[in-house]
């Protein structure tokens, strides 16, 4: 009985490891195919449109709300110590370092990542990928590489927009609603937020997040079992795996970047 | 048939498994140059798998495949891409790229694989679309086409690079009688005017017998019958007779293997 | 699909907004403007004790921020602390005998270097040393002294 369970466990882990292996092989192949993008630059622009412009409004709204919430929460915590004037620092640091890159990546995985998986999965179901191969066009270079690169390019920009709007949202609540001095909000922020340690690290984080979410999305689409059920499962997996990987990767990157201070 | 001068493709002792399932088990097939060859057999006998093996999308487990005199068994990815420029394939669903209109779909292989300028591409695309009778539909999107039209556009795309051969994956499935007739006529006329070699994978007996020059019938990984349509009608094998006349019972049983009916009915304990 | 010009336009707008957001983060939110560059000059001061002072702590003159601390190093011989700070170049008229001290903004606030203007006609320039300094006050020490004095009384 236990033996049987162990066999099932072994089978499942082997299947999982095989998938992981295929994901790495696909990644290596995509990296190898990156130079081909210069011949098909319009495809990259097209994907920047689908991944970036379509997520734009979502990020704008989400960023403003998160900033406002941070304004309220930060104010009430700081008011206990009479340090309301540091509100700008609290809002800016938490958004630029953590919330901006992470929430943007989570929203991106839900909005753009799932769409990518479904799109590529459907292209597989309708034999479009196979037909490209038979037309002597490599679907990895034609379909996957432009999407991967666009994801890596778009996410840092979205995260920057999220952070900027979030800080404005924090200012709106802190200054206009709760009466923190506007000068203190900005000047304390400027003296405490470092261009390298905080802003640049946040951007580096979001580049990694863009890489991992788009990689998972295109892999899940490319590796779909070509049925309608397969596509819906792959789409769900994209969102779940992306979210978990973003959070885990965030921990690792944070430990590397801020661990020693 | 075994004269290598007249064969474009020769498959020898092909073995292929999918998981535990044996798809091909020492299959030998010769595809003559310039003719229409049909591969037939019931669903699930690996007809589509055969096309994938010929297109290099799946590697055989053992055996050899020669295409146009080249042993493709050890082909690199690059060699396959070069060879595929000389192959056309019509997929079951047409497999048009859904984000481009008809014109761009037919132009796609030309733009990706040649350095022709847009003027030349336009000439070629219009020529190919004219050949399938859809020059007037060039601005439509794939979603706006009927199934038969989509297949014709896909056919125009398959011949865009002037291939030496075309593979048809179930071209007649799910077509109304008119588009079926159109397709039969197109396959024949393209084969003869462009001096192509055609391979049709199908289980539609009537149309295939009408169009093919030579037919292979596959079952359980083996060739169970081959010959011209006339010869096949006279084939003594019961299996072949059952298949081409579509009889419900014969060597292939109507009943899925089970214990005797009365035993099953009276054994109450076991459910279901 | 959209036609190409419209698509390019939207992508252009998106990228421009993204870059603007990055610029805002760099210029308005962070300390990039006060970071090393053409706009600053450096002076050094020697302190006995800098407890609580950090790199990037502000440098204030008469309560106005004019620069920030760049490096804090211990002099191995004298065991004094050398604090190098950058000061915005438009503040070029600080007398050379000004006094630097380490103060605290509020009771729990952060440490900063405060300059008190002197009276000399010569001004601090790049590479100058500030000779008159006040060490940081350590709260525990002060409390200890206070208690001790009380006991004496």
Q: How far is C145 from chain A (nearest CA, A)?
A: 27
pLDDT at C38: 60
pLDDT at B4: 46
pLDDT at A204: 94
Displacement of CA A50 from its chain's centroid (Å) = 15
Exposure letters B204-224 (e unless 16+ CB within 10 A, then b):
bbebbbebbebbbbbbebebb
* Residues B152, B148: Cα–Cα separation, whole Å: 6
Number of domain units in chain B: 1
pLDDT mean across residues, chain A:
91
Q: What is the mean pLDDT of residues C20-46?
A: 78
Q: How far is A154 from chain C (nearest CA, A)?
A: 8
Q: What is the DSSP letter of C48?
A: S
* Residues C153, C148: Cα–Cα separation, whole Å: 9
> Considering only CB atoms, which chain A residues are within 8 Å of C65?
187, 191
> Considering only CB atoms, which chain A residues are within 8 Å of B93?
126-127
Cis peptide before C102 (omega within 30 of 0): no
| A150-159, B183-192, C118-127, range with greatest mean pLDDT | A150-159
Q: Is residue B5 part of a domain?
A: yes
State the angle between helix axes of A41-48 and C4-24 in degrees (0 to 180), rounded to the nearest 10. 70
Inform me whether the pLDDT recorded for B64 exceeds 70. yes
| Structural domain boundaries in chain C | 1-30, 40-139
Q: Could you tell me the residue range of the domain that residue B266 belongs to?
A: 1-86+207-272
Between these two residues, A138 and A260, which has the higher pLDDT value?
A138
pLDDT band with cut points at 50, 70 and 90 for residue A39: confident
Query: Which one, of B153, B160, B155, lies nearest residue B122 by Cα?
Result: B160
Question: Which own/partner contact pairs does B55-61 have at CB distance under 8 Å and 24+ positions apart?
Answer: B55/A133, B55/A134, B55/B84, B55/B87, B55/B89, B55/B167, B56/B80, B56/B83, B56/B84, B57/A130, B57/A133, B57/A134, B58/B16, B60/B14, B60/B15, B60/B16, B60/B24, B61/B15, B61/B16, B61/B17
pLDDT at C68: 83
Query: Is C22 close to A167, i.e. CB distance below 8 A?
Result: no
pLDDT digit string (tens) for A49-69?
Answer: 999 998 999 999 999 999 999
| Structural domain boundaries in chain A | 49-253
pLDDT at A203: 93
> Considering only CB atoms, which chain A residues are within 8 Å of B154?
131
* Residues A93, A98: Cα–Cα separation, whole Å: 8
State the angle between helix axes of B147-158 and B118-131 in degrees (0 to 180), rounded to the nearest 10. 130
pLDDT at A253: 93
Number of Cβ atoms within 10 Å of the Cβ of C97: 15
Q: Alpha carbon of A110 to those of A45, A54, A59, A240, C83: distances in Å?
A: 21, 12, 12, 9, 49
Q: How far is C55 from chain A (nearest CA, A)?
A: 11
Query: In chain A, which among 188-247 make CB contacts under 8 A with chain C?
Result: 189-195, 198-199, 203
> Considering only CB atoms, which chain A residues are within 8 Å of B84?
133-136
Inform me whether the pLDDT recorded for A233 exceeds 60. yes
Residues of B near A (CB-CB distance < 8 A)?
52, 55, 57, 81-82, 84-85, 87-89, 91-93, 95-98, 108-109, 112-113, 154, 157, 161
pLDDT at C109: 67
Identify the chains in contact with A, defined as 3+ C-beta pairs within 8 A.
B, C
- Count of all residues that appear for chain C in the document: 153
Q: Could you tell me the two tokens for A131?
A: 């037909």
Parallel, antiparallel or unpaired: strands B70-71 and B87-90: unpaired
Count contacts between A and B (CB, < 8 Å): 52
* Residues B139, B207: Cα–Cα separation, whole Å: 31
Inform me whether the pLDDT recorded for C26 exceeds 70. yes
For A197-223, give the DSSP string. Answer: IIIIHHHHHHHHHHHHHHHHHHHHHHT
Query: Is A126 close to B98, i.e. CB distance below 8 A?
Result: yes
* Residues A134, B109: Cα–Cα separation, whole Å: 10
pLDDT band with cut points at 50, 70 and 90 for residue C60: confident
- Count of all residues that appear for chain A in the document: 261
> Considering only CB atoms, which chain A residues are within 8 Å of C33?
190
Q: What is the DSSP letter of A178?
A: S
Helix (H) or strand (E) holding B84: helix B77-84
Q: What is the mean pLDDT of residues A175-199?
A: 84
Q: Are C70 and C86 in contact (CB under 8 A)?
A: yes
Q: How many CA atoms lie within 13 A of B200 on its CB side?
A: 27
Inform me whether the pLDDT recorded for A146 exceeds 80. yes
Q: Is residue B268 part of a domain?
A: yes
User: Between A126, A134, A137, which is nearest B87 by CB?
Assistant: A134
pLDDT band with cut points at 50, 70 and 90 for residue B2: very low
Phi, psi of B36 (to 5 degrees): -100, 115
Parallel, antiparallel or unpaired: strands B62-67 and B70-71: antiparallel
Number of Cβ atoms within 10 Å of the Cβ of C110: 17
pLDDT digit string (tens) for B144-199?
Answer: 988 888 888 999 999 888 899 999 988 888 788 888 888 888 888 888 888 889 99
Angle in degrees, CA A230, A236, A241, rounded to 5: 115
CATH (domain of B268): 3.40.50.300
Q: How far is A98 from chain B (nearest CA, A)?
A: 37
Q: Does A42 touch chain B (CB under 8 A)?
A: no
Number of Cβ atoms within 10 Å of the Cβ of A154: 30
Token pair 């050398």: residue: C82
For A26-90, give the DSSP string. Answer: HHHHHHHHGGGGGGGHHHHHHHHIIIIIHHHHHHHHHHHHHHHHHHHHHHHHHHHTT-GGGHHHH
* Residues B11, C45: Cα–Cα separation, whole Å: 87
**pTM score of the predicted model:** 0.81
By C-alpha distance, the chain C residue nearest A162 is: C21
Between these two residues, C32 and B131, which has the higher pLDDT value?
B131
Q: Could you tell me the two tokens for B5?
A: 């001068």
Q: Which residues contact B78 (CB under 8 A, 6 or more apart)?
A: none
pLDDT at A202: 92
Q: Does C14 touch chain A (CB under 8 A)?
A: yes
By C-alpha distance, the chain A residue nearest B79 is: A136
pLDDT at B40: 87
Q: Are B135 and B129 in contact (CB under 8 A)?
A: yes
Helix (H) or strand (E) holding B245: helix B238-245
Q: Alpha carbon of B225 to those of B24, B48, B50, B177, B238: distances in Å?
A: 15, 18, 17, 28, 10
Q: Are B46 and B221 in contact (CB under 8 A)?
A: yes
Q: Are A163 and A70 in contact (CB under 8 A)?
A: no
Which range, of A86-95, B50-59, B204-213, C35-44, averages the lowest pLDDT?
C35-44
Q: What is the mean pLDDT of residues B82-99?
A: 88
Inform me whether the pLDDT recorded for A23 exceeds 50. yes
User: Between B57, B97, B161, which is nearest A128 by CB?
Assistant: B97
Helix (H) or strand (E) holding B37: strand B36-40
By C-alpha distance, the chain B residue nearest A36 is: B112
Q: How many CA atoms lie within 13 A of A252 on its CB side?
A: 9
Inform me whether the pLDDT recorded for B271 exceeds 70. no
pLDDT band with cut points at 50, 70 and 90 for residue B3: very low
Q: What is the mean pLDDT of residues B120-130?
A: 91
User: Between A128, A136, A142, which is nearest B95 by CB?
Assistant: A128
């Amino acid at each position: 009985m236990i033996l049987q369970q162990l066999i099932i466990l072994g089978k499942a882990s082997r299947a999982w490891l095989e998938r992981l292996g295929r994901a790495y092989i696909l990644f290596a192949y995509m990296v190898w195919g990156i130079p081909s993008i210069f011949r098909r630059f319009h495809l990259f622009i097209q994907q920047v449109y689908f991944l970036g412009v379509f997520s734009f409004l979502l990020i704008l709204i989400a960023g403003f709300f998160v900033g406002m919430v941070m304004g309220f929460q930060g104010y009430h915590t700081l008011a206990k110590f009479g340090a309301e004037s540091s509100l700008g620092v609290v809002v800016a640091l938490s958004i630029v370092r953590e919330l901006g890159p992470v929430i943007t990546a989570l929203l991106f995985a839900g909005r753009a990542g799932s769409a990518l998986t479904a799109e590529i999965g459907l292209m597989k179901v309708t034999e479009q990928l196979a037909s490209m191969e038979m037309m002597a066009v490599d679907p990895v270079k034609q379909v996957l590489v432009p999407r991967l690169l666009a994801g890596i390019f778009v996410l840092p920009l979205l995260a920057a927009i999220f952070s900027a709007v979030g800080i404005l949202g924090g200012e709106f609540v802190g200054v206009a609603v709760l009466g923190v001095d506007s000068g203190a909000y900005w000047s304390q922020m400027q003296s405490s937020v470092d261009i390298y340690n905080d802003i640049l690290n946040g951007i580096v984080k979001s580049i990694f997040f863009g890489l991992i979410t788009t990689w998972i999305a295109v892999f899940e689409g490319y590796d779909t079992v070509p049925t309608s059920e397969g596509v819906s499962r792959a789409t769900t997996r994209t969102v779940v795996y992306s979210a978990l990987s973003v959070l885990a990767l965030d921990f690792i990157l944070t430990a590397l970047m801020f661990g020693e201070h | 048939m075994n004269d290598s001068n007249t064969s474009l493709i020769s498959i020898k002792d092909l073995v292929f498994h999918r998981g535990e399932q044996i798809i091909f088990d020492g299959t030998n097939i010769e595809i003559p140059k310039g003719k229409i060859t049909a591969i037939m057999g019931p669903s699930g006998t690996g007809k589509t798998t055969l096309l994938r093996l010929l297109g290099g999308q799946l590697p055989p487990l053992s055996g050899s495949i020669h295409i146009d005199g080249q042993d493709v068994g050890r082909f690199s990815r690059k060699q396959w891409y070069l060879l595929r420029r000389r192959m056309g394939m019509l997929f079951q669903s047409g497999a048009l790229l859904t984000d481009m209109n008809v014109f761009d779909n037919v132009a796609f292989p030309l733009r990706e694989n040649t350095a022709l300028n847009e003027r030349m591409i336009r000439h070629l695309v219009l020529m190919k679309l004219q050949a399938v009778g859809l020059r007037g539909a060039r601005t439509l999107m794939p979603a706006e086409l009927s199934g038969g039209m989509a297949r014709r556009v896909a056919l125009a795309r398959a011949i865009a690079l002037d291939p030496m051969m075309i593979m048809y994956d179930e071209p007649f499935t799910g077509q109304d009688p008119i588009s079926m007739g159109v397709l039969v006529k197109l396959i024949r006329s393209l084969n003869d005017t462009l001096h192509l070699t055609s391979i049709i994978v199908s289980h539609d007996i009537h149309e295939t017998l009408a169009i093919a020059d030579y037919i292979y019938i596959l079952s359980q990984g083996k060739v169970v019958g081959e010959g011209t349509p006339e010869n096949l009608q006279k084939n003594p094998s019961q299996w072949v007779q059952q298949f081409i006349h579509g009889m419900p019972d014969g060597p292939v049983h109507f009943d899925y293997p089970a214990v005797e009916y009365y035993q099953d009915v009276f054994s109450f304990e076991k459910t279901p | 699909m959209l036609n190409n010009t419209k698509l390019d336009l939207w992508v252009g707008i998106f990228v421009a907004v993204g870059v603007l957001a990055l610029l805002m983060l760099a210029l308005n939110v962070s300390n990039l403007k006060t970071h090393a560059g053409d706009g600053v000059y450096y002076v050094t001061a020697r302190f006995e004790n800098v407890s609580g002072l950090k790199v990037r702590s502000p440098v204030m003159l008469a309560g106005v921020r004019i620069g920030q601390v760049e490096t804090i190093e211990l002099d191995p011989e004298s065991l004094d602390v050398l604090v190098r700070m950058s000061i915005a170049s438009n503040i070029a008229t600080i007398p050379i005998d000004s006094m630097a001290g380490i103060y605290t903004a509020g009771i729990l606030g952060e440490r900063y270097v405060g300059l008190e203007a002197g009276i000399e006609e010569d001004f601090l320039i790049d590479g100058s040393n500030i000779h008159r300094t006040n060490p940081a006050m350590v709260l525990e020490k002060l409390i200890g002294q206070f208690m001790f004095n009380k006991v004496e009384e």
